[in-house]
Structure 1
Amino acid sequence: MKLFSFWFIAVLMAAGVSAQDKISSFQTERNEVLLLSGDHKSIGRKNAAEDLILTGDLKTDTKIIMERYELEHKNDINANPEKKSVLLATALSTLVPGAGQFYNDEIWKSAIFLGLEAGLITGAIIYNKKGNDKTAEFEGYADNNWSVVKYAEWLLNNRSALGLPDGDITIDPNTNLKPWERVNWGELNHLEGRFSHKLPPYGEQQYYELIGKYPQYNHGWADQLNDNTPEYNSNITPMFLGYSTMRGDANDLYNASTRFITFVVLNHVLSAAEAAWSSAMFNKHLTLNMRVVPEIVNKATEIEMVPRLNISWKF
């Protein structure tokens, strides 16, 4: 009987030691979790275990610990993408359409705006070149078929009928010179005082415009054979009309180039506005939270730390 009592006491003592070891092990593991969490407010809780009054029974003491300590710490993993700079996105797309979209990680939008930019610039260059070619064509046509000498002679021959002021126009008789090299331009402009326009110096844009625009210059064209009449409104020649059409074609080509340039500017504006809007919406509506939450699960006499992953994506 004494032997049995001694053996029973020894078992109780062993059970108590075992319970204390498990409790101590649990407390140690919990404190380590708290230390690794980086949450300084939670770290202070580990010292509260010193105030616990334990019974020595493993099951009871485990229940006490779990009721006393609710593990509230949550490891937050900052998975939020870096916010986009609205100002930077806007500036990039203002300089190069599509650059702001590329910064916003919207590659397909970037490709669209950049492709439009390339296409529009190419169109502007092509039509501007076509306009230059047509301009060179009609200027060459004018140099070969319109003569300021012929025009000056018509003015002199019809001075009285046209009501021109007194004066003369010096014309160099050297026919080897170009027509615009043979006439005194100042004297010519003086006699033109009655008209609404005076002929600009040779080579200027207005020079080529006026000789195909105003009927008074009709008598400078090679196919105008009657220079002895003061009439100049009703006898417009085919060369005058054909030249006017050529100039109109050149202007149409230049206008097309200008429209392309207008759309280039518009593409910059739209790309900048879209980049600003997209970056603002990204910062406002996109939230990605990832949290690892340690959770105590009591499985009979076992305690297990279970990480939980929460992901939310809001628009």
Structure 2
Amino acid sequence: MKRIILLFLILSATVSGQKIEKIQVGQVEKNPKKAMLMSAVLPGSGQFYSQSYSWGILYSALELTGISAAVYYNQAGNTKTSDYKSFADHHWDVIRWLDDYYGEYEQPWTNPAAEKTHNVYLSIGSHRYTFTEFIQTFETWEEWQAYRDQIELEKEYHFYENISKYKQFKQGWDDWQEYKDDPDYQVIQRSSPHQEDYAGMRKDANDLLKRSTYFTSAIMFNHLVSAFDAYFRTTRWNKRFAHRVHMNMVPNLSSRNQGLTFHMQIDLAGL
């Protein structure tokens, strides 16, 4: 193809008698930094720019797979999270939990389980108590009964974690009374079947959300690798294909005994 182009230029110059200097043929160089930026934003695009089509398809496919998996596992994890929270709200009750502490001990702060319990926050109106503050403020069961219908417990992340992991919260489960004397539930971490089922639900949700974060990290890694790969592939493409042909063609008319002839000088560089 290049030879045909050269021949065409020579013939054109010969016919027209014009001076043609530094005609460039071949493919224009590509910008490696541009390719790097393109793939940093959208993996595979820099590879397409450098005409490495198979690698462009690969990085694009990895990006699509990573995004799809991250979204799928995040949605599945959020659904499971909603399920275990709904289960806990239905089967665990703060008043049932407090009744046991005050019912079993005359002074609830002496309850060994109460001393070991992880913190939760209880509110009555605008006043907010830690659990320890609550049982020290209301020293007897009768003292907080007037506020029984006003007590609210903050159900944030740590609350849903605590009722899953610790026996200090066992009294709040609606099946604890039935299993509190069961020897099988005296030697394992869970205090009742509902707490055990809840712990399994929460683990499933967390596992799904962790998978989503793994795929999110893989997406970021794909952006990084694709960007550097596009830079080097574009640089290599320039070395292989971005050749330049420079020609200086000067037709000179001279007279000889045999007639008129053209003298042409062609300089080729970069091949």
Q: When the two structures are superposed, what TM-score results if normalisation uses the length of structure 1?
A: 0.58
**Match runs of 1:274-293 below 5 Å:** 274-290=229-245
Paired amino acid for 1:224 = W
Match of 2:58 among 104, 112, 132: 112
What are the ranges of 5 or more consecutive residues in structure 1 without an aligned counterpart? 1-30, 40-75, 166-178, 194-199, 295-300
Q: 1:211 maps to which residue?
A: 163
- Is the aligned partner of 1:36 residue 2:18? yes
Aligned to 2:30: 84
Give the CA deviation at 1:111. 2.4
SS in 1 for 2:165: coil
Query: Structure 1's 181 and 111: CA in aligned 2 closer, same or farther, altered over 3 A?
Result: farther
CA distance in 1, matches of 2:129, 2:179: 22
1:1-315 correspondence to structure 2 within 5 Å = 36-38=18-20, 77-156=23-102, 157-158=104-105, 159=108, 160-162=110-112, 186=129, 188-190=131-133, 201-225=153-177, 234=187, 236-290=191-245
1:203 maps to amino acid = K
Deviation of the 1:279 alpha carbon: 1.2
Q: Give 1 or 2 for the bigger CA radius of gyration.
A: 1
Following superposition, the deviation at residue 287 of structure 1 comes to 4.7
Cα pair distance change 1:91/1:305, threshold 3 Å: same
Partners of 1:212 and 1:180 lie apart in 2 by 22
- Structure-2 residue corresponding to 1:60: none
One-letter identity of the residue aligned with 2:31: S
8 Å Cα contact 2:248-2:266 kept in structure 1: yes
Matching residue's letter, 2:133: H
Q: Secondary structure at the match of 1:288?
A: coil
Structure 2 Cα separation of the partners of residues 107 and 122 of structure 1: 22
- Gaps (5+ residues) in structure 2? 1-12, 116-121, 137-151, 250-257
Q: CA deviation at 1:106?
A: 2.8
Equivalence for 1:42: none
Distance 1:117 1:192, change over 3 A: farther
